[in-house]
Amino acid sequence: MHREDMDEFVEQVTAQSDLLQTVQSYVPLKRKGNRYWGCCPFHGEKTPSFSVVPDKGFFYCFGCHAGGNVFKFLSLIENITYFEAIKLQAEKLGIPMPQRQKTPQEIARDKEIADLRKVNEMARDFYHNCLTLTRLGEPGKAYFTSRAISAETIAEFKLGFAPHAWDKLSTAFLKRGVKQELLLSDGLAAERQNGGGIYDRFRNRIIIPIADERGRVVGFGGRVLDDSTPKYLNTPETVLFNKRRILFGLDRANRAIKQAGYAIVVEGYMDAISVFSAGVKNVVASLGTAFTAEHCKLLLRYAPAIYFCYDSDDAGQKATIRALSIVQGTGATVRVIVVPDGKDPDEYIRKHGAEAFQQLVKKALPLVEYRLQYVLKNFDHDSLEGKVKALHAMLPVLTGIREPAVLGEYIKRLSQALLLDEGIVRDEFRRFGHQPLPEDSGAVQREPIRQAVRRTDTALQRAGRIVIRLAFQDAGILAHFATMVPLNDVSDEPQREILLALQELAAQGKNSNDTEMANKLSETAMAELSRAMVEDLGVLSETEAYSNAVRVLRKAYLNMRYVEHSQRAAELARQGDTAYVAELNQAQKIKSEMEELQFE
């Protein structure tokens, strides 16, 4: 059912959205005249072909032919639907979305979530105050001092300490009116087996609050002070807390990730805190679980590159390889930060200092280079069987190389390292490239990276785009053009779709705008409209450009009609029907007009 409040919502978001500001938060742009240019974020390129014209409200890439308005850009860059892009932009602008009437169950669930968030904030403050303001926190302070975690870092992350007592938090919260059911469902407490009440889940542990990307506390991580087990204890899965979808530190790191152009992923939150304290702010951590497809999708909203920095022990290296298999095929640039000495990032920084770690970041290895070094180090390639295993271990990453010269170089290096004939390696590579990936490969389901596509651009298409551009700005132009060329007879399908959509809006008394057109047009037609709005008319004035374009399109239309009448006349003549004379006269009349156009 149509909702006027939703239309008003979309109009408000559209009116307050700034295309240039939005695009520049993802893509560096340089101004040239009234246009801005940069390297396309949707396909790899070194020479900028991505253009934004703010006053028209459109972007277009002349390489991969992606185009649209601000919401289309967000939907492509964030890998979300068009309407989800509108909602995302509304959230950024602080514009509330109209709410439908909620069911009692939905109202109750919303209240539960709000209550859980409030209890989480209370727990964060409780643990932080225990650490910083009471003698109960002395063991925690000693631990942080031993790890060279400063008071500033403790304050930044609101780090805390859970006292060495069974029910310190539970008792305090129950006295403050927090219901026992909330403490249980929030994972802060557990039921005693004998049914005699509840006890604190976290005891005698340092506490790390875990927030979602918007900075809302969703859970906690607790680390022991000694070598007892479990070493790390996280909040169990709750309505708010899902480890597969949460990256520790993203709420603090997202801006730095955008600025740097890449995210650093470490194994645990202590590593992330240590790296952050070392001045490297674009760092996040997975939470005691493997790097997931959801994690990858989340990071690619902020930057096109991901650097992995897992522990350098055997378990860490295997985790790195698993993570790389998740990321490959998403279009992300992947590098690996290699930490020497068998250390994790936290240990390395404490031993060698922040500057030394920053140098490791600068020396991060490309995915293929890292995988090659790993394979040569960990596979016994002295035997034929070992050579084959090593070769097959490299093939998945080789298929991700898009530049022929780079691929050729790595094939040559692999051949030399394994002492295999280069032709054999190339044959195996081609054979592997035709094998489908297993369904459970864990690859992120997202729109494939676009490819630059060479398209033949005809004079008719160029003329059509000029008409579209001017008709979009002035309905009078559209009405005039329709008298020269019936819109249903425009030969280019996307351009015909655009012109008919503009005609429909004009008939409804509506002004043409990017949002209305996005609702009506196919993706191909929307991209063509974007190109029409972004293309430069050159030295011609709009009047001259329009006149020339109409002449070209009118002549093409007349030529089509001339052929139709000529063929019809020939068919009637064969049938002995004298009506062929009228058809010939009509064809001749059209030919005369075509000749007049030729000499104008």
Q: Quote the CA–CA distance of 53 and 268 in Å, as a whole number.
A: 43
Please report whether residue 28 resides in a domain.
Answer: yes
Residue tagged 């053009």 (tokens): 481
Which structural domain, as residue segments, surrounds residue 68? 4-93
Given a contact cutoff of 8 angstroms between Cβ atoms, the answer to whether 464 and 472 are in contact is no
* 569 close to 589: Cβ distance less than 8 angstroms: no
In angstroms, how far is CA 541 from the centroid of its own chain? 39
CB-based contacts of 390: which residues, under 8 Å, 6+ apart?
A: 375, 376, 379, 381, 418
- Cα separation, 66 vs 71, whole angstroms: 13
Q: pLDDT tens digit string along 383-430?
A: 888 888 888 888 877 876 767 887 888 888 888 888 888 888 888 888
Please give the Cα distance from 185 to 207 (Å, whole number).
19
Stronger pLDDT, 181 or 446, i.e. the higher one: 181
Residues 60 and 181 in one domain: no
Q: Using CA of residue 469, residue 466, residue 40, residue 331, what is the dihedral sign?
A: positive
Contact 262, 241 (CB under 8 A): no
Same domain (yes/no): 446, 466? no
Identify the domain boundary among 93, 124, 148.
93
Going by pLDDT thresholds of 50, 70 and 90, the confidence category of residue 161 is: very high
- Give the whole-angstrom CA distance, residue 319 versus residue 268: 12
Contact yes or no for 578/556 (Cβ under 8 A): no
Answer yes or no: is pLDDT of 1 > 70: no
200 and 141 co-located in one domain? yes
133 and 40 housed in the same domain: no
Place of tokens 């001749």: 588
Helix (H) or strand (E) segment spanning residue 277: helix 269-277
The β-bridge partners of 586 are none
Report strand pairing: 50-53 vs 365-366.
unpaired
Q: Does the pLDDT at position 296 exceed 50?
A: yes
Q: Does residue 99 sit within a domain?
A: no
- The answer to which of 323-337, 410-424, 523-537 has the lowest mean pLDDT is 323-337
- Distance of alpha carbon 169 from alpha carbon 187, whole angstroms: 12
> Which three-class secondary structure state does DSSP give residue 37?
strand
- Residue type present at position 253: A
DSSP 8-state assignment for residue 229:
S
Last residue of a domain, which of 422, 451, 480? 451
544 shares its domain with 593: yes
Inside any domain, residue 587: yes
Closest alpha carbon to 357 in 370, 348, 366: 348
Q: What pLDDT, on a 0 to 100 scale, did the predictor assign at position 31?
A: 92
Helix (H, G, I), strand (E, B) or coil at 282: coil
Number of domains in the chain: 4
Same domain as 474, residue 335: no
Q: Is the pLDDT of residue 115 over 70?
A: yes
Q: What is the mean pLDDT of residues 328-334?
A: 72
* Number of neighbours of residue 193 by Cβ within 10 angstroms: 6
CATH code of the domain containing 47: 3.90.580.10
d(CA 121, CA 396): 45
Residue 230 and residue 288 share a domain: no
Q: Determine, yes or no, domain membership for 251.
A: no
Average pLDDT over residues 295-316: 82
Cβ–Cβ contacts within 10 Å for residue 383, how many? 9
pLDDT for 21: 92
Say how far apart CA 586 and CA 257 lie, in whole Å: 67
Query: Cα–Cα distance between 249 and 264 in angstroms, integer?
Result: 11
Q: In this predicted structure, which of 65-69, 101-105, 407-411, 551-555 has the lowest mean pLDDT?
A: 101-105
Q: What is the arithmetic mean of pLDDT over 78-94? A: 87
Instruction: Indicate if the pLDDT at residue 462 is higher than 50.
Output: yes
For 99, 426, 561, 583, the CA distances from 567, given in Å and listed in that order, are: 61, 55, 10, 9
Predicted confidence at residue 393, as pLDDT, reads 81
**What are the C-alpha distances in Å from 107 to residues 77, 101, 497?**
33, 10, 44
Instruction: Note whether 23 and 160 are same-domain residues.
Output: no
State the Cα–Cα distance between residues 302 and 291, nearest whole angstrom. 17
Q: Domain containing 166 — which CATH number?
A: 3.90.980.10
The fraction of the chain above a pLDDT of 90, given in percent, is 39
Give dist(CA 276, CA 20) in Å, integer.
31
Stretch (H or E) spanning 486:
none
Q: Is a pLDDT exceeding 70 seen at residue 537?
A: yes
Tell me the pairing of strands 58-61 and 67-68.
antiparallel
436 & 477 share domain: no
Write out the H or E segment, with its range, that includes residue 331: none
Q: Is residue 247, in this structure, part of any structural domain at all?
A: no
Residues 434 and 536 in one domain: no
Mean pLDDT for 108-131 is: 94
* Consecutive H or E run containing 150: none
Q: pLDDT band for 178, please (50, 70, 90 cuts).
A: very high
Rounded to 10 degrees, what is the CA torsion of 146, 148, 154, 157? -110
Residue 224: pLDDT band (50, 70, 90) is: very high
CATH code of residue 354: 3.40.1360.10
State the amino acid at position 114 in one-letter form. A
Q: In the structure, what pLDDT confidence band is assigned to residue 447 with cuts at 50, 70 and 90? A: very low
Q: Which CATH number does the domain housing residue 578 bear?
A: 1.10.860.10
E strands present in 242-326: 262-266, 283-285, 305-309
Same domain, 463 and 328: no
pLDDT level of residue 177 (50, 70, 90 thresholds): very high
Q: Would 171 be classed as within a structural domain?
A: yes
- Which has more pLDDT, 168 or 106? 168
In a domain, 368, yes or no: yes
Greater model confidence, 472 or 7: 472
Domain closes at, from 416, 451, 486: 451
Query: Cα(387)–Cα(270) distance, rounded to whole angstroms?
Result: 39
Beta carbons of 40 and 61 less than 8 angstroms apart: yes
Mean pLDDT, the chain, as a whole number?
Answer: 86
Question: Distance (Å, rounded) from C-alpha 293 to C-alpha 443?
Answer: 6
> What would the 3-class secondary structure string for 574-597 be?
HCCCCCHHHHHHHHHHHHHHHHHH
Which residue in 487, 450, 442 sits closest to 467, CA to CA? Answer: 487
411: Cβ–Cβ under 8 A, 6 or more apart, which residues? Answer: 398, 422, 425, 426, 429
Determine which of 172-186, 217-231, 506-520, 543-557 has the lowest per-residue pLDDT on average: 506-520
> Is the pTM here over 0.85, yes or no?
no
Q: Which of 510, 508, 520, 151 is nearest to 499 (CA)?
A: 520
Cis, peptide link before residue 230, omega less than 30° from 0: yes
Residue 436 pLDDT > 60:
no
Question: Quick check: is 253 in a domain?
Answer: no
Residue 77 vs residue 444, higher pLDDT: 77
Are 446 and 463 members of one domain? no
